Structure 1
Amino acid sequence: MVSIAAHPVGKGHPVYVIAEIGLNHNGDVEIAKRLIDVAAEAGAQAVKFQKRTPLISTPEHMRSVPRETPWGTMSYLDYRYRVEFDRDQYLEIGDYANLSGLDWFASPWDVPSVDFLEDLNVVAHKVASASVTDLELLGALAATGKPIILSTGMSTMDQIDRAVDMFDPAKLIVLHATSTYPLSPEEANLRVITTLADRFPTIPVGYSGHERGLQISLAAVTLGAVAVERHITLDRTMWGSDQAASLEPAGLEHLVRDIRIIEEALGDGVKRVFPGEIPSMEKLRRVVA
């Protein structure tokens, strides 16, 4: 079990639902606040953002690539700067999330972004799948002593092993993920959840999904995922690369509702005769054992 703020995450505890806002705010604080409202109203436990120092985290070969945006054509690097929140903006949305009863944190994509988030006293850090092999970044994250959520998309098991070894297992949550946007069912490979749970028996294992719909995320819960992360959006037709693989408000609400139903329905695995069965047994069973 790992504690994130007041929430225990692990077997025997409610599934920790992370609503990933990511960059779906398109650099607009008011959109970010509306998405925080969506997460709170749906019953999620946390919202997550992404934090970059664009000049460091943008691959050199991508920096000058033209990008069509709602603000005109610009280089990919300029686009990255355009959608980043500064310190005052993060203070505003962080306070808004806290007042909404939500944990908030982010995926830092470079070491200065770790320092940036630590200065804001986030309750945890998320390692994006793209950063699994960035050992310098992982070391900086481990040094914070905060709970770490590690996504494992686009990674081999050897790469995951090296990343896991960087962290205190008592403060680590590992998420199965496939980094296809949007994710098709044939690439979901949900049985990796049990593979990871067997490989890291003391570490809580969850699921980060990029699929359309709810079925795959709900199946992940039945396979033992103790945390579920999904991107959220106000409208999947909004501009942005993650919007199409995101849940709209009603979708997130239904996801949380159905996760709670599944948690209750899974039970404890002990076979017993339930009180609701007694009338049926008395009416239908001919031979009493």
Structure 2
Amino acid sequence: MPGTTGDTWLHDPRPGAPCTVIAEVSQAHDGSLGMAHAFIDAIAATGADAVKFQTHIADAESTPSEPWRKTFNSQDKTRYDYWKRMEFSESQWGELKAHADDKGLLFLSSPFSLTAVELLKRVGVAGWKVASGEISNFALLDVMLDTGLPVILSTGMSPMAEIGAAVARIQARGVPLAVLQCTSMYPCPPELVGLNLIPEFRTRYGCAAGLSDHSATIYPGLAAAANGMDVLEVHITLSPEMFGP
């Protein structure tokens, strides 16, 4: 059963390893450290293998006047304000990492700036999850590759040429790689999940492959796991009634 072995692809990247199940918190904690810890407790109880956050540092990736692409609350006047409210200090990230360790979860967080990569290197991560929007950010990718840690690459909105360029750069460094099919819709309807691309990525690139699931249901992940994928990332919430983007 995925998520219960402690010997999955991310624990030990190798052909045929059991599927790694990653519970993606993202910004569902809404800037609350206590809520982030509550997510770790809840995720550990499910049998997932890893907890993943996103590390946004407002001063490193935004400007005070950056407007919203789509406003979803009146609390944050700009995207900068939102990213600032989502930030944790390095010591707080360390507390979250220690909590994940204590619960037997691998700890991951997607960086969105060079500053975030350096912070996460100090905190300690099990590998690097490259967000879809950073797939062609080679300056960021190269710093991650320097650590030698496994890389999980999301591919939302990227054409094959862009995916192939990132894959070639990673494989040239000999770093373990998993490529995830990702459809950048929230929620993603079943007919657009794209499970057919998981075996295509495995064959085309000769690496592990999986799914970043935005469907808000359990079914695409179950179908993909039953067909032998290596990594499943699922966006989670403690309740669909919780506030958030």
Same fold (TM over 0.5): yes
Q: Give the corresponding residue for 1:23.
A: 27
Q: Counterpart in 2 of 1:119?
A: 122
- Could you tell me which residue of structure 2 aligns to residue 144 of structure 1? 147
Structure 1 residues not aligned, in runs of 5+: 242-289
Larger helix proportion, structure 1 or 2? 1
What letter corresponds to residue 210 of structure 2 in structure 1? Answer: G
Residue of 178, 182, 202 corresponding to 1:177: 182
**Cross-structure match for 1:195:** 200
Indicate the residue corresponding to 1:252 in structure 2.
none
Displacement, 1:18? Answer: 0.4
Letter in 2 for 1:30: G
Matched, 1:12 2:16: yes
Deviations 1:62-114 (A, max 9, x none): 713494547x2422211110011111211111111110110101100111111
Higher Cα radius of gyration: 1
Aligned pairs, how many?
Answer: 236
One-letter amino acid of the counterpart of residue 23, structure 2? A
Alignment of 1:200-279 (within 5 A): 200-201=205-206, 203-241=207-245
Q: CA offset at residue 12 of structure 1?
A: 2.8
Structure 1 residue 46 displacement after superposition: 0.4
Shift of 1:8: 2.5
State how far apart, in whole Å, the 2-side matches of 1:68 and 1:35 are: 22
Identical aligned residues as a percent: 34
> Structure 1 2/13 Cα, relative in aligned 2: closer, same or farther at 3 Å?
closer
SS of structure 2 residue aligned to 1:198: helix
Of residues 26-35 and 9-18 in structure 1, the stretch that sits farther from structure 2 once superposed is: 9-18
| Alpha-carbon distance in 2 for matches of 1:236, 1:2 | 29
Q: Would you say 1:83 and 2:86 are equivalent positions?
A: yes
- Code of the residue aligned with 1:209 in structure 2: it is D
Task: Output the CA distance in 2 between the equivalents of 1:51 and 1:73.
Answer: 18
- In the alignment, structure 2 segments of 5+ residues that lack a partner are 1-6
DSSP-derived class of the 1:136 partner: helix
Distance in 1 separating the partners of 2:217 and 2:124:
34
